[in-house]
Amino acid sequence: MKVLLLSRYGPLGASSRVRSYQYLPYLKANGIDVTVSPLLGDDYLRQFYSGKVNQLTARSSPYFQRVIELLKSRRFDLLWIEKELFPWLPSWSEMLIARLKIPYIVDYDDAIFHNYDTHSNMFIRKLLGNKIDVVMRNAAAVIAGNEYLASRAEKAGAIRVEYLPTVIDLERYAVNDNVENPVFTIGWIGSPATVKYLEMIRPVLSEWDKKNNARLVIIGADSFELDGTRVEHRPWSQDIEVLDIQSFDVGIMPLSDNLWERGKCGYKLIQYMACGKPVIAYPVGVNSKIVEHGVNGFLAESKKEWLEALTVLRDDHGLRKKMGAAGRKIVERKYCLQVTAPKLMSIIQSVKENGN
């Protein structure tokens, strides 16, 4: 079986890496040959995160290359699309593919439909507001990373909707109980695009540091500073991200409660838990599903709740270990490649065999 994967990014893009690339060895071992064609490569992301990218010039060549790839689509049994074929353009390409009877599955781990239907520009809302609904409706199957995204697909009239959470590979993630930090270590992992969420708990961290000896470790972004607090910035690397997370005492995920955030899939929480770390998260969207309050971590919304959660975890090493172990078990049961890879393979095979 031959599949053309039309991903959004190269391996540097977290969404492409965890939603598709990490599945490729398993699929290949089971007779599914996947050809990868990212729209935007790693060079684009490096420029984007540095703030030096010109969107118009950076996208023109990739869009042309994608057209070339689509002309070869009949060589494949199935197209596997991440989100959409051409961001900020109408759904004409997906509609044409459907009319040509070329089956495609489309995967979502973000509420990208809100890029269009809530846009401040009325022209964008008018032209593209229902774009993703059309893409979903014409797909042989929609794969959604959480219930919010799945619900949108169902309302759009998708003929088949499958839930597949964002997961980690258990072979890469391990628990290290031998880490002993000289000071209580609060950890966060993300990107320059998501570091803004740390601003939501700036008052929490500022007050915490007035009373406690602690440090904040930030992986993947270097723009967040906090007066009077030891903030350690570490560049993200796939080779050492697990080691970095293992150095945390607790992993955090602050998040605003807006439409976009309700479509997030809580990947960083799953990473923390896979390393046996307790978590603290805002009760937004899928976070409330991943975090079992008082079992594998705490759901905290107010400043008081965040301070209380941090204090309890700092003072009780045994509780940290117990919650971390509970989180690891949840990952092993629900949020790992070993569980979801067979399901993804089954979806792909059934679309080819049944045509839907």
Give the span between the Cα atoms of 297 and 309, in whole angstroms. Answer: 9
- The structural domain count of the chain equals 2
CATH number of the CATH domain containing 316:
3.40.50.2000
Q: Is residue 324 part of a domain?
A: yes
Q: Do residue 320 and residue 343 come from a single domain?
A: no
Q: Do residue 190 and residue 330 come from a single domain?
A: yes
Domain residues for the domain of 207 are 184-334
Q: Do residue 199 and residue 111 come from a single domain?
A: no
Q: Do residue 127 and residue 276 come from a single domain?
A: no
Give the phi and the psi of residue 166 in degrees, each rounded to 5.
-75, 135
Q: Do residue 7 and residue 144 come from a single domain?
A: yes
Residue type, 140: A
Q: Do residue 78 and residue 198 come from a single domain?
A: no
Q: Is residue 17 part of a domain?
A: yes
Q: Do residue 312 and residue 261 come from a single domain?
A: yes
Q: Of 16, 21, 45, 15, which is closest to residue 35 (Cα–Cα)? A: 21
Give the span between the Cα atoms of 18 and 127, in whole angstroms. Answer: 31
Q: Is residue 255 part of a domain?
A: yes
Each residue's pLDDT tens digit in the chain (356 positions)? 999 999 999 988 899 999 999 999 999 999 999 999 999 987 877 777 666 655 555 567 889 999 999 999 999 999 999 999 999 999 999 999 999 999 999 999 999 999 999 999 999 999 999 999 999 999 999 999 999 999 999 999 999 999 999 999 999 999 998 888 888 999 999 988 899 999 999 999 888 777 777 889 999 988 888 776 688 999 999 999 999 999 999 999 999 999 999 999 999 999 999 999 999 999 999 999 999 999 999 999 999 999 999 999 999 999 999 999 999 999 999 999 999 999 999 999 999 887 54
> For the packed helices 267-274 and 317-334, what is the interaxial angle rounded to 10 degrees?
120
